[in-house]
Amino acid sequence: MAGLSVPPAPGAVDVNCYLGRWAFRPVTCPTVDTLLAELDRAGIAIALVSPLDGVLYKEPMAANRELAAQVSAVPDRLWPVCTLNPAFPGWERDLDECINSLRARAIRLHPNYHNYVLSDPRAQDLVRRSAAAGLPVLVAVGLEDVRMHHWLMQVPDVPAGDIARLAAAIPDACVIMTGATFAQVASLWRGGTPVPPNLYVELSRVQGPIGDIEQLCAHLGAEHMLFGTNLPLHEPAALLLALHYADLPDAARQRIFRDNALALLGLRSS
Amino acid sequence: MIIDMHVHTTAYEPDFTPQLREAEKYDARLVVAVLWPVGHRGEEPYDVSVEFFCDANQQALALCERFPERVRAWIYVNPAHTRQALAELERGLQHPAAVGLKLWVARRASDPCLDPLLELCAAEGVPVLQHTWVKTGGNLPGESTPEDLRQAARRHPRTLFIMAHCGGDWDYGMRAARDLPNVYVDICGGEAMRGWTERLVSAVGVERVVFGTDMPGRSFPSQLAKVLGARLSDDAKERILYRNFAAILQQRRRPGGAPWPV
């Protein structure tokens, strides 16, 4: 190991980043400027940013509009991801607004915080329409360890198998599983759930066991793995260090840090 | 150099190679506690028998002898078997590679049955690594919270405690530790959260924070990120990663000890 600093990942694309405040404790980077400072420190070029306040809003459009306004100042760095709740009436019109007015680059779902399941026809309809608009759909398994949730707000994680089945049911969609632990991702192959080709896994909460990244590569393939931070809740250095020291070919590392995300977003790596 | 003062063997498996490979990659020394010894699969893993913890320590010390440059050991006991636990701790600490006492989830730290063990550690000048966690969904019956450790630390001000995992939810841990100078905290086990290490250092002081990984359940880089990712000086990072725990080892009173140099 060399030195006491974290090797940055120049040009990386962070597909799992939030902007805003978290109701349960202060965060270090709740504003655009503070978030950009964190991204700069890690060498991250582009971040897909979802509204953190929108996790707890029943009707998240107000958070989406605020997010879009905030990130519009740095359109080359922060790309808005809009959170929708298909269990709330009128989401179809909200989706149109997210695509046409708010310039969403992807759609975000929180089935656990918004109290629906991914087999709900409304959720599947939303994913189908997002796919038709060319937008990836990010589904958050969880935001933080359930063992430290607030006493009055214990929210179970979304089963990884539900997300895999959603992707399998809608093969035209690009489904990105975010905030899953290694055990949750591994539950797919250990439980015999097929991993569909249109399912991608973001890695910010993959923090063990030993050899976690290498095992995921072996089972999923590097082409299905994506770099993310889960900022402002999680520490970006965890995945930066894990990928830097993992026994991976450099080409696989580059795919995970950047190329896979750019391809999913319809862009080429420069 | 790094001292990873909180490592385990893989449950009921003899192969320690993955941990050693990580240690080599990150230039780390390992202090191991065997909690799931080979040959005891299927037995009660929490409120363990005397044979269970004696075998665990025999296997931990065997690793030290096999990898003397790289590995030291915690002596693990179930304090409910007080007499045998005390005898095992006395026996274990005679080994120069034994660094102190490890307590897990058999009994809470506030339980008076721990008292003779904690007194022996004070006399020997060795630390007590006590597992702590606060789980919103509820702890195991014998699983200590930071408050349990706080009670023990107040009863035994001459004993040096290390609050493992900083209570899981660090807000609990740092508040429980901050006014007790005989309580250190280790930062391993949970996910790496942005800003937590800076807050912990601010609350308890950098001199009372030590580094561990909780391998193999956690990966080395995820835990190292808590230090390297923090907005701290290089001096503070070096203290947490190595010097603080090396200084603890220097307090061992028994002659013939082999602590790593400060």
Q: State the Cα angle at B212 between B210 and B217, rounded to 5°.
A: 160
pLDDT-derived band of residue A266, with 50, 70 and 90 as boundaries? confident
Question: B residues 30-49 near A, CB within 8 Å?
Answer: none
Which residue from A minimizes the CA distance to B227? Answer: A4
Res A268 pLDDT > 70: no
Best residue in B7, B191, B198 to probe A by mutation, most A CBs within 10 Å?
B191
Concatenated DSSP letters for B135-147? -TT---TTPPPHH
pLDDT-derived band of residue B259, with 50, 70 and 90 as boundaries? low
Neighbouring-strand partners of residue B28 = B2
Res A269 pLDDT > 60: no
Which residue from B minimizes the CA distance to A147? Answer: B135
| Mean pLDDT estimate for chain B | 96
pLDDT-above-70 percentage for chain B: 97
Mean pLDDT over A69-84 rounds to: 97
Looking at residue B172, what is its pLDDT?
A: 95
Query: Contacts of residue A227 in chain B, CB cutoff 8 Å?
Result: none
Whether B60 has its CB under 8 Å from any CB of chain A: the answer is: no
Burial of A247 per CB tally in 10 Å (0-12, 13-18, 19+): exposed
Mean pLDDT over A252-269 rounds to: 89
Chain A residues within 8 A (CB-CB) of chain B?
1, 4-6, 25, 27-29, 38, 144-151, 154, 205, 207-213, 231-238, 240-242, 244-245
* Distance between A202 CA and the closest CA of chain B, angstroms: 15
Q: Which of A155, A167, A103 is nearest to B136 (CA)?
A: A155
Q: What is the pLDDT of residues B50-67, one digit of tens each?
A: 999 999 999 999 999 999
Q: Are the CB atoms for A176 and A200 separated by under 8 Å?
A: yes
Mean pLDDT over B26-35 rounds to: 97
Res A23 pLDDT > 60: yes
Res B133 pLDDT > 70: yes
Res B30 pLDDT > 60: yes
Q: What is the pLDDT of residues B134-180, one digit of tens each?
A: 999 999 999 999 999 999 999 999 999 999 999 999 999 999 999 99
| Mean pLDDT estimate for chain A | 96
Looking at residue A231, what is its pLDDT?
A: 98
Query: Contacts of residue B196 in chain A, CB cutoff 8 Å?
Result: 235
Looking at residue B243, what is its pLDDT?
A: 96
* Distance between A181 CA and the closest CA of chain B, angstroms: 10
Inter-chain residue contact A154 with B136, CB threshold 8 Å = yes
Looking at residue B260, what is its pLDDT?
A: 61
Res A1 pLDDT > 80: no
Mean pLDDT over B76-81 rounds to: 98
pLDDT-derived band of residue A270, with 50, 70 and 90 as boundaries? very low
Mean pLDDT over A18-29 rounds to: 95
Looking at residue A194, what is its pLDDT?
A: 86
Q: What is the pLDDT of residues B206-249, one digit of tens each?
A: 999 999 999 999 999 999 999 999 999 999 999 999 999 999 99
| Residue in the structure block whose two tokens are 């260090």 | A241
Mean pLDDT over B92-116 rounds to: 97
* Distance between A159 CA and the closest CA of chain B, angstroms: 18
Looking at residue A145, what is its pLDDT?
A: 97
Res B73 pLDDT > 60: yes
Looking at residue A2, what is its pLDDT?
A: 64
Q: What is the pLDDT of residues A159-191, one digit of tens each?
A: 999 999 999 999 999 999 999 999 999 999 999
pLDDT-above-90 percentage for chain B: 96
Q: What is the pLDDT of residues A95-115, one digit of tens each?
A: 999 999 999 999 999 999 999
Nearest to A205 among B22, B191, B224 (CB): B191
Number of neighbouring beta carbons within 10 Å of residue B64: 21
Q: ipTM score here?
A: 0.96
Concatenated DSSP letters for B178-208? TT-TTEEEE--SS--BTTHHHHHHHHH-GGG
How many contacts (CB atoms, under 8 Å) link A and B? 118
Concatenated DSSP letters for chain A? --SSSPPP-TTEEEEEEEES-BTTB--S--SHHHHHHHHHHHTEEEEEEEESGGGT-SSTHHHHHHHHHHHTTSTTTEEEEEE--TTSTTHHHHHHHHHHTS--SEEEE-TTTTT--TTSHHHHHHHHHHHHTT--EEEES-SS-GGGSBTTB--PPPPHHHHHHHHHH-TTS-EEEES--HHHHHHHHHTT----TTEEEE-TT---STTHHHHHHHHH-GGGEE----TTTB-THHHHHHHHHSS--HHHHHIIIIIHHHHHTT----
Best residue in B219, B234, B239 to probe A by mutation, most A CBs within 10 Å?
B219
pLDDT-derived band of residue B254, with 50, 70 and 90 as boundaries? confident
Inter-chain residue contact A207 with B224, CB threshold 8 Å = no
